[in-house]
Amino acid sequence: MKYQRLSKEQLEELHVEFINFLATQSITAEEWGDIKANKPEVAEEEIDIFSDLVWEKVLTGAQYLEHFSKNQIHLFELQEEHMRLIAIKINNDAIDVTTPEGYNWLRENLLNDEVVFYNATKAYGDDHNVDKFKLIQQGSAITKGELFHFFKQLIEAQG
C-alpha cells in the first residue's frame, strides 16, 4: 500500500465510487459479499487498492496545503517542479495562532517585530504525491490557497 487505507467513514462517503471500482474489476455485489465473508484478505487488498487510487487522485489535484501549530503557520503552494513555502513564525510564546484569539492577534499585528516571515522552495523527491502525503500525515490540510496568496501579496508588497 502506497498511502493509507481510507477510514470506514471515508469509504462510506465513497460508497458509489467503490461500487464502480468493484465493477471495473468485474466484481458483482454478490461476489463482493462472498469475498468479504470467505476471503477477507482479498477484500482488504481491494480496499487498499481503492484507497491508493483515491489518494492518488486527491494528491494529484492538491495545489495548496496549510499547517498550523502554536506559533507557526506553514503555507505550501504545490507547483509542478517544487513546493513553495511561506512560513510565519510568531516569536511570542503567549500567542497561539491555533486559537481564535491568537489568530486575531496575528491578523492585527502582521508587521509586528515578533512576526517573522520565511520564504523558501523545496524540490520534490522521487514521487511528488508521496511528499504531499507526508505533509498531510504531519497535520497539513488541503486548501484552496487563499491564505497562501494573502501572505504572498503581503510579502511582495514589503519587498
pLDDT in tens, 96-137: 999 999 999 999 998 889 999 999 999 999 999 999 999 999
All structural domains of the chain with their residue ranges: 8-61, 64-158
Identify the pLDDT of residue 32. Answer: 94
Q: Are 79 and 145 in contact (CB under 8 A)?
A: no
Where the chain has pLDDT below 70, the residues are: 159
